[in-house]
Amino acid sequence: MMNIIIISLLTLFQVTNGLSTVGTAKYVNDLDTTWKATETPSAVNISTKLGSILSHEIGYVEPEIFKYMTKDVPEEFDVRTAFPECESVVSRVRDQSNCGSCWAFGATEAFNDRYCIATGDNTKVFSPTDTLACCSGFRCGFSKGCEGGQPSGAWSWFTTTGVVEGGDYGDDTTCMPYPFPSCAHHVESDDLPACDTLPTYDTPECTTDCTYGNTVGGDSRFYAKTSYSLKGVNDIQQDLMTYGTVTTAFSVYEDFEVYSSGVYQHETGKYLGGHAVKMIGWGVDNGIPYWTCVNSWNDEWGESGSFRILRGSDECGIESNIVAGTV
């Protein structure tokens, strides 16, 4: 009897106070919920990769809300197939490495997708490094580089300052490639070092000089026309169908570390911070409605770099932190 009581108390403690990554994965999978978890190599300090200010937090700057008329939408939608000429751009999965730059990636990548959709130019690769390093202070929602920032500030920045081209780490063909190497985010990898073996990187210096090529200026910068926020499932869906990818942010809990596949919804673990990603569509899986999002933890994580999250109930705030803009 005493052993049963001890086991029950231990289970209660784990559920309410968080588990090790191994314990969390087993707990989630035993629930037979809408998603699958996998054991991670170690208890990585995920906070180094969470860097987005959320709508309920002090300091959040919300752009003007854009509204749509309510109308019917399809059961499923994916920007990659809806705009096939930009599939290669939208499908690109990037890697923020060991820096809290998710806000810069989520905003810059969504802008990149929308630029392609608006112009038909699928050759451009926009630079999260430029956004990360230079979008700061009051004009950028008090974003602080690798210490976190606001996608809404970045989208506003795109309308006034724009962004240059910049590929991934090791790319020597674009103006401002990402300066930090890829790493394995909560997964075992044969090719990449674990992220917790890398240093926690500092924000790159803002510069007007390209790492490769000429000085930044003139036609080398790309601008958005407007920035705005969206509220409610219908408006998010209408905007995705009209203009393409949006940026979103959400609350991350410990169980998100062990996500492997399926439609994520928070089951266990404490709050860790805000995280920004790009949202590219929606669908239904065995009667469960979901949003499709692309992360910035490379394609070895999750569902080839993306994840699905419960739609319609503002799961983890995913529907309360949508920002975008026109090109």
Dihedral of alpha carbons 126, 95, 268, 29, sign? positive
Q: Do 217 and 234 meet the contact criterion of CB atoms below 8 Å apart?
A: no
Q: What is the pLDDT of residue 71?
A: 85
Q: Which of 86, 116, 275, 298 is catalytic?
A: 275
Give residue-wise pLDDT tens across range 289-304. 999 999 999 999 999 9
Q: Tell me, rounded to whole angstroms, the distance of Cα 66 from its chain centroid.
A: 21
From 119-123, 135-139, 247-251, the region with the lowest mean pLDDT: 135-139
Checking if the pLDDT of 100 tops 50, the result is yes
Q: Do 182 and 197 meet the contact criterion of CB atoms below 8 Å apart?
A: no
From 36-45, 143-152, 296-305, the region with the lowest mean pLDDT: 36-45
Q: Which of 86, 98, 99, 102 is catalytic?
A: 102
Coil, helix or strand at residue 238: helix
Pairing between β-strand 288-294 and β-strand 271-285 as defined by DSSP bridges? antiparallel
Check which CATH number belongs to the domain holding 32 and give it. 3.90.70.10
The Cα–Cα gap between 266 and 269 comes to 8
- Residue 8 included in any domain: no
Q: Tell me, rounded to whole angstroms, the distance of Cα 184 from its chain centroid.
A: 16
Which has more confidence, 18 or 241? 241
- Residue 111 included in any domain: yes
- Residue 3 included in any domain: no
Q: What is the pLDDT of residue 226?
A: 97
- pLDDT-derived band of residue 21, with 50, 70 and 90 as boundaries? low
Checking if the pLDDT of 93 tops 70, the result is yes
Q: Do 309 and 278 meet the contact criterion of CB atoms below 8 Å apart?
A: no
Pairing between β-strand 306-310 and β-strand 259-264 as defined by DSSP bridges? parallel
pTM of the model: 0.88
What's the distance, Cα to Cα, between the start and end of the chain in Å? 66
- Residue 10 included in any domain: no
Give residue-wise pLDDT tens across range 192-214. 999 989 999 999 999 988 988 66
Using left for φ > 0, alpha for ψ between -120 and 50, and beta otherwise, residue 217 falls in: left
- Residue 6 included in any domain: no
Average pLDDT of the residues in 109-125: 98
The Cα–Cα gap between 179 and 308 comes to 29
- Residue 246 included in any domain: yes
Q: Which of 98, 295, 298, 321 is catalytic?
A: 295
Q: Tell me which DSSP letter residue 212 carries.
A: S
- Residue 16 included in any domain: no
Q: What is the pLDDT of residue 6?
A: 28
Checking if the pLDDT of 315 tops 80, the result is yes
Checking if the pLDDT of 3 tops 50, the result is no
Q: What is the pLDDT of residue 51?
A: 59
- pLDDT-derived band of residue 57, with 50, 70 and 90 as boundaries? low
Checking if the pLDDT of 19 tops 50, the result is no
Average pLDDT of the residues in 163-182: 95
Which has more confidence, 276 or 9? 276
- Residue 228 included in any domain: yes
The yes-or-no answer on residue 295 being catalytic is: yes
Structural domains of the chain, count = 1
Domain ranges, residue 88: 23-324
Q: What is the pLDDT of residue 73?
A: 94
The Cα–Cα gap between 115 and 159 comes to 13
Strand partners, 126: 165
Residues near 184 by Cβ (< 8 Å), separated by ≥ 6? Answer: 41, 192, 193, 194, 195, 300
